Chain A
Amino acid sequence: MPLLSVQNLRTAFHTRNGIVRAVDGVSFDIDKGQTLGIVGESGSGKSVTCYSLLGLIPQPPGRIEGGKALFGGQDLLAMSEKQLRTVRGKRVSMIFQDPMTSLNPFMRIQDQITEPLLIHEGIDKQTATRRAIQALEEVGVPDASRRIRQYPHEFSGGMRQRVMIAMALITKPELLIADEPTTALDVTVQAQVLELIKEMQRKHGTAVILISHDLGVVAGFVDHVNVMYAGRVVESGPTREVYYHSKHPYNEALQRSIPALQTKGQELYTIPGAPPDLARLGEGCAFAPRCAYVQDACRSGELALKGVAAKHETACRRVQDGEIQLSEVSNQ
């Protein structure tokens, strides 16, 4: 049985401009200790998917309209706020995008990092502090017993993200959701933080969902990738397969958009058009207006993920039918 099994999750926001279907029928499984990447551009529903799982969607305007998220046999989506609180920060933790703003500027690191312990494990303050110092040392914060008394503004961005990681993992959760954990950091620190998450994962056997719009970040990190577009998973497969043998025109176009170091003087490739307005999605494939392989048949009917290779699924009708062969990417 997978650790978390999301089935047909649908989340919508009821706005003045109509109903925005931010997540529209997303399904995926993640096993214990596995790493799953969710990639897609801004507004493709990556974050909303994960926020929905923990009940962190602002309601209203947001609403979870259907689906199941079985976590250890329990449906997260059917839980009350009170039940969810026993899952959040204890069994499922989250790391946020911007470490500069996700720590309370008025609280010492010590008070923030021990909070999940005090709440979920009911241990005394002294033991909690001891464990917090250990956790900080583990994530590579030097001089942890002194630093723990400091305030967030006394930490650099990379150090703060380390603190966030320590805080998220201090209760030894089964699942860690990292929502673009490196976006706000500079490149060298990015690598360190990713390496750290990986190391912690190996050590504690935590399953990780990594949300990112950075294909490079995901490539070196995850076992399995879901590519999202307009609230749906359009391609899902093992990382190598998704990168080198893409099975969806959107993914192929994304790969082509990556600037290569070797070629000079050529214009960079961009995907024509703009991402669709989720409040006005028509029938058929959402990528059709921008797709190079589009046919009239693409603009109607229901789309479903279908396996085309081992563990590799695509939502593209034409690839499923074997009508088109997508170019294979050969850059490393």
Chain B
Amino acid sequence: MNSEMSDANPTAPASADQLLEQAEKGHSLWQDSWHRLAKNRLAVASGVILILIVLCCLAGFFMDHTTQDLELGATKPSRDHWMGTDVLGRDVFARVLYGGRISLAVGLLATLVAMCIGVVYGTVSGFYGGKIDAVMMRFVDILYTIPFIIFVILLMVFFGRNIWLIFIAIGAVEWLTMARIVRGQVLSIKKEEFVEAARALGLPQTRIIFRHMIPNVIGPVIVYATLTVPAVMIFEAVLSFLGLGVQAPATSWGVLINEGASAIEEYPWLLIFPGIAMSLTLFCLNFLGDGLRDALDVRRSKD
């Protein structure tokens, strides 16, 4: 339509300017992706549930998760204590909400750290190739061989026990796999003609890396990131179990599940509620990640 109109009246500068304005506004890649994501019901539902979980956890600030009531002891869920109480008489609901804050924060932050390091490292390694690639990847291999637990214990010994250190420690380990995945993707994308074309246009290498390569690897990165979040949460639980993670009276979902698992026969609710909270979060993350991958892949859009 528009072209016909402008053909019929080629000397109309106003309409040309209007068209231009439209063209400039357009939609960004992110806006487009957002529209596609909004069409994916499962992903949207997952997103909403995740937001609710986060809000609830934040609301947990106003609840008391440490007060003990030894006389009360472990009780089943009731009107006063929605999720029951543990052996020390602490309210499980409050503890689940509090634990969620720690678990989510560790999971998301560590994954973010891993993603940033891994994507840049992997892209640079794959893009430059040759000797640079060999050296960078051998460095990753060496880091892989260091047992994670020892690495964390060393960090704790040198810097003291600190929740932020857990983020860094887990992020520092998780980026290795991310770097490998990204490098593999970059190696195959590097061979594509559009990279050659970008070079033939005289683009500087940093621009080729950040504008042409990284957007093309975002799909696998998002998927792997959503798989990393649960892995990190479980890691955190392991660390806490060893006494290296969060310390009582603070808690996390991992710790709660651990405690609950040991008392499953007498007090099953100690396991069930934190378990539901964690599984629900992980499910939602996976669905959301799946939806994000589809939404970010411009080729998948039908319109």
| Residues in A lying within 8 Å of B, measured CB to CB | 54, 56, 60, 84-90, 93-94, 96-98, 101-108, 110-111, 115-116, 119-120, 125-126, 129-130, 133, 142-146, 148-149, 151, 153, 164, 167
Q: Which 9 A-B pairs have the closest CB atoms?
A: A89-B201, A88-B202, A89-B202, A145-B19, A143-B3, A102-B193, A94-B200, A106-B215, A101-B193
Of the listed residues B20, B197, B212, B218, the one surrounded by the most CB atoms of chain A closer than 10 A to its CB is B197
Q: Kindly state the separation between the CA atoms of A129 and B21 in the bound complex, as whole angstroms.
A: 10
Q: Does B26 contact A (CB under 8 A)?
A: yes
In the complex, which residues 110-155 of chain B have their Cβ closer than 8 Å to any Cβ of chain A? Answer: 130
Please give the distance in Å from B263's CB to the nearest CB on chain A: 51
A88-B3 in contact given A104-B194, A149-B27 (Cβ < 8 Å)? no
Q: B1-34 interface mask toward A, CB cutoff 8 Å, 1 = contact, 0 = none?
A: 0110000000000001001101110110100000
New A-B pairs, 16, CB < 8 Å, besides A115-B203, A151-B299 = A54-B200, A85-B204, A87-B202, A96-B193, A104-B194, A104-B216, A106-B215, A106-B218, A108-B26, A110-B26, A115-B211, A144-B3, A146-B19, A146-B22, A149-B23, A149-B27
Q: B191-229 interface mask toward A, CB cutoff 8 Å, 1 = contact, 0 = none?
A: 011101111111110010001100110100000000000
* Residue contact B201 to A93, C-beta cutoff 8 Å: yes
Interface of B is mostly: helix
Q: Kindly state the separation between the CA atoms of A167 and B3 in the bound complex, as whole angstroms.
A: 21
Residue of A nearest to B215 (CB): A106
> Which residues does chain B contribute within 8 Å of A56, judged by CB atoms?
196, 199-200
Q: Kindly state the separation between the CA atoms of A60 and B129 in the bound complex, as whole angstroms.
A: 11
Query: What are 23 sample pairs from A and B whose C-beta atoms fall under 8 A apart?
Result: A54-B200, A56-B196, A60-B130, A85-B202, A85-B204, A88-B200, A89-B203, A96-B196, A96-B197, A102-B194, A103-B197, A104-B216, A105-B299, A106-B215, A107-B212, A107-B215, A115-B203, A115-B211, A126-B24, A129-B24, A133-B19, A133-B23, A145-B2
Please give the distance in Å from B197's CB to the nearest CB on chain A: 4
Of the listed residues B3, B26, B202, B216, the one surrounded by the most CB atoms of chain A closer than 10 A to its CB is B202
Q: Does B298 contact A (CB under 8 A)?
A: yes
Of the listed residues B27, B194, B196, B198, the one surrounded by the most CB atoms of chain A closer than 10 A to its CB is B194
> Which residues does chain B contribute within 8 Å of A164, judged by CB atoms?
197
* Residue contact A167 to B196, C-beta cutoff 8 Å: no
Instruction: Tell me which of B20, B22, B204 contacts A130 (CB under 8 A).
Output: B20
Please give the distance in Å from A103's CB to the nearest CB on chain B: 6
Q: Kindly state the separation between the CA atoms of A104 and B196 in the bound complex, as whole angstroms.
A: 11
Q: Kindly state the separation between the CA atoms of A239 and B269 in the bound complex, as whole angstroms.
A: 88
> Which residues does chain B contribute within 8 Å of A87, judged by CB atoms?
202
A101-B23 in contact given A94-B197, A142-B3, A145-B2 (Cβ < 8 Å)? no
A119-B202 in contact given A102-B197, A146-B19 (Cβ < 8 Å)? yes
> Which residues does chain B contribute within 8 Å of A105, judged by CB atoms?
194, 216, 298-299
Instruction: Tell me which of B130, B192, B196, B200 contacts A89 (CB under 8 A).
Output: B200
Q: Kindly state the separation between the CA atoms of A105 and B24 in the bound complex, as whole angstroms.
A: 19
* Residue contact A149 to B215, C-beta cutoff 8 Å: no
Residue of B nearest to A105 (CB): B299
> Which residues does chain B contribute within 8 Å of A149, judged by CB atoms?
23, 26-27
> Which residues does chain B contribute within 8 Å of A101, judged by CB atoms?
192-194
> Which residues does chain A contribute within 8 Å of B203, judged by CB atoms?
85, 89, 115, 119
> Which residues does chain B contribute within 8 Å of A88, judged by CB atoms?
199-202
> Which residues does chain B contribute within 8 Å of A90, judged by CB atoms?
202
Q: Kindly state the separation between the CA atoms of A87 and B201 in the bound complex, as whole angstroms.
A: 9
Residue of B nearest to A153 (CB): B299
Please give the distance in Å from A91's CB to the nearest CB on chain B: 9
> Which residues does chain A contribute within 8 Å of B212, judged by CB atoms?
104, 106-107
Q: Kindly state the separation between the CA atoms of A115 and B23 in the bound complex, as whole angstroms.
A: 16
Residue of B nearest to A130 (CB): B20
Q: Kindly state the separation between the CA atoms of A331 and B203 in the bound complex, as whole angstroms.
A: 46
Q: Kindly state the separation between the CA atoms of A251 and B28 in the bound complex, as whole angstroms.
A: 53
